[in-house]
Amino acid sequence: MKYATMKQIAEIVGVSVNTVSRALNGKPDVSEKTRQKVLDVARRLGYVPNRLALYLKGKKTRIVGVIVEDNSNPFWSEVLKGVEAEAKLHGYHVILVNTNKNYRDEVEGIQMLLERRVDGILIAPNQRKYDDLLELKKIGIPFVIVGRHIKELENLDIPMVYSDEIKGGYIATKHLVERGCKRIAFIGAQPYNTASAERYEGYKRALRDAGIEMKEELIRSTGIEMKDGYRSVMDLLKGKARFDGVFAYNDLIAFGVLKALKEANLRVPEDIKVVGYDDVFYSSLITPSLTTVRVEKKEMGKLAFKMVLDFNHKRKEVLPVKVVKREST
């Protein structure tokens, strides 16, 4: 495919290339009549600005890259809505990369975005290792970690925006205790997931403050999908573990928990109460509707974008959380 050039537009309109450039970029020293002619010809030819050429001239490409594990996950789709809304306000475009929870895909995604000369990157890292983030820091390109609090990177002044995960785990568990639960299962994500680790810390603190002994047999470390919640509960039931409450790492896991309990002919909330995390859209629509910890997902995306634009300003944003009470408790 051959792209139209400013030179071709200039020849058709009968002006200089510099005049075409100034008209296309909205500069004030071009008459409205000439500007309209330039814009009309540019539209007719299908002119597309050369972002790489702008970069080579020392200008911004006005493109930001976003790397997440899976944008079909309703949590990340809401975060992305926030990113895109803020990007549009500032005249930016977004390139999305899905890593499918694979570190190699994360590394290749970063490389692709760097080749396209993005002005910054928002990344929810895989967390198996951080070599790629350390390399980004060395290169000096603005980037912000989204949805993860990575303590070992804090001393490097890498910006992060995340929710108050320890508090979230605490208030979720406390709510179950207040509803009469004494044996509360925790179904977490993979061990390297820092959000899961901090929610687990909040869970332990809430049990300790309530004078309830934590039972290791009620702890499960799994994935983050519905199937993982389903399998974890089936495993608990198969092992004859007694529990009257479940705190799930996220709402997707909680949906799987509810399915497993239904198949086991256990009633929610009469027999077992369930709390999720994130408050994704579907949580209020299922039966029973899910009690969950609300995370400000769109706000997280908006803040992350603002932070990457003002890279040298704030290094950390911690968003508030709260329990949304519904039928499952």
Q: What per-residue confidence (pLDDT) applies to 115?
A: 82
Distances from the Cα of 97 to the Cα of 169, 268, 311, angstroms: 29, 38, 21
Average pLDDT for 206-229? 96
Structure tokens of 259?
A: 């399915």
Question: Computed from CA positions of residues 202, 208, 212, 218, in that sequence, does the dihedral angle turn out positive or negative?
Answer: positive
| 274 found inside a domain | yes
For residue 130, the enclosing domain spans 63-162+297-319
Average pLDDT for 113-120? 88
Q: What per-residue confidence (pLDDT) applies to 28?
A: 84
Separation CA 199–CA 192 (nearest Å):
13
**Amino acid present at 39:** L
Confidence of residue 304 (pLDDT cuts 50, 70, 90): very high
Number of domains in the chain: 3
The pLDDT of residue 1 is above 50: no
Burial 4-18 (b: 16+ CB within 10 A, else e): eebebbbebbebeee
Distances from the Cα of 249 to the Cα of 155, 190, 196, 271, angstroms: 27, 10, 6, 20
Of residues 87 and 141, which shows the higher confidence score? 87
Report the CATH number at residue 32.
1.10.260.40
The pLDDT of residue 166 is above 50: yes
| 190 found inside a domain | yes
Same domain, 258 and 290: yes
Kindly report the pTM of this predicted structure: 0.84
Residue corresponding to tokens 């930016």 = 92
Same domain, 183 and 198: yes
| 137 found inside a domain | yes
| 325 found inside a domain | no
Report the CATH number at residue 225.
3.40.50.2300
Q: What per-residue confidence (pLDDT) applies to 57?
A: 58
Q: What per-residue confidence (pLDDT) applies to 232?
A: 97
Average pLDDT for 147-164? 92
Check residue 275 and give left, alpha or beta (phi > 0: left; psi -120 to 50: alpha): beta
